[in-house]
Amino acid sequence: MDCTLDRHLLDGYLDGELGFERALEVEAHLASCPSCTQEVEGWKHMRAAIQDPELYHRAPAALEEKIRARFPNGERKLSVSWLQRWLWAGGGAAFATAAMLLAFLGWHPASPTMAQEIATSHIRSMMSDHLMDVVSTDQHTVKPWFDGKIDFAPPVQDFAAEGYPLAGGRLDYVGKRKVAVLIYHRALHIINVYVWPAEDAGSSPIRVDTVQGYNVLAWKKNGFEFRAASDLNVPELRDLANLVSP
Partner 1 sequence: MSERFEQTVLTHLDAAYNLARWLVRSPADADDVVQESCLRALRFFGGFRGGDSRAWLLKIVRNTCYSWVRKNRPAEINDEFDETVHTPMQVADSPEAKLISRAESDRVRKALEALPLTFREVLVLREIEGLSYKEISDMTGVPMGTVMSSLSRARQKLREQLGAAAGKEA
Report the interface residues with partner 1, using CB under 8 A: 1, 3, 7-8, 10-12, 15, 17, 35-36, 38-39, 41-43, 45-47, 49-52, 54-60, 63-64, 66-68, 70-74, 79, 92, 123, 186-189, 210, 212-213, 215, 231-236
CA neighbor of 194 nearest in space, from 165, 221, 225:
225
Closer CB to partner 1, 15 or 138, in the complex: 15
Query: Least Å distance between CB 82 and partner 1?
Result: 15
Could you give the CA distance from residue 66 to residue 108 in angstroms, rounded to a whole number?
36
Query: Least Å distance between CB 200 and partner 1?
Result: 32
Could you give the CA distance from residue 177 to residue 194 in angstroms, rounded to a whole number?
11
Closer CB to partner 1, 84 or 222, in the complex: 84
Query: Least Å distance between CB 169 and partner 1?
Result: 23
Query: Least Å distance between CB 28 and partner 1?
Result: 18
The SS3 of residue 81 is coil
DSSP H helical ranges for 82-217:
82-104, 114-127, 139-146
CA neighbor of 74 nearest in space, from 82, 86, 66:
66
Query: Least Å distance between CB 104 and partner 1?
Result: 22
Sheet holding 214-221, edge to edge: 134-135, 166-174, 177-186, 189-197, 224-230, 214-221, 204-211
Closer CB to partner 1, 64 or 162, in the complex: 64
Query: Least Å distance between CB 45 and partner 1?
Result: 4
Helix axis angle, 20-32 relative to 7-14, nearest 10°?
110
Closer CB to partner 1, 3 or 100, in the complex: 3
Closer CB to partner 1, 71 or 107, in the complex: 71
Q: Give the E-state strand segments of the chain in sequence order.
A: 134-135, 166-174, 177-186, 189-197, 204-211, 214-221, 224-230
Could you give the CA distance from residue 6 to residue 72 in angstroms, rounded to a whole number?
52
Closer CB to partner 1, 78 or 153, in the complex: 78
Query: Least Å distance between CB 191 and partner 1?
Result: 11
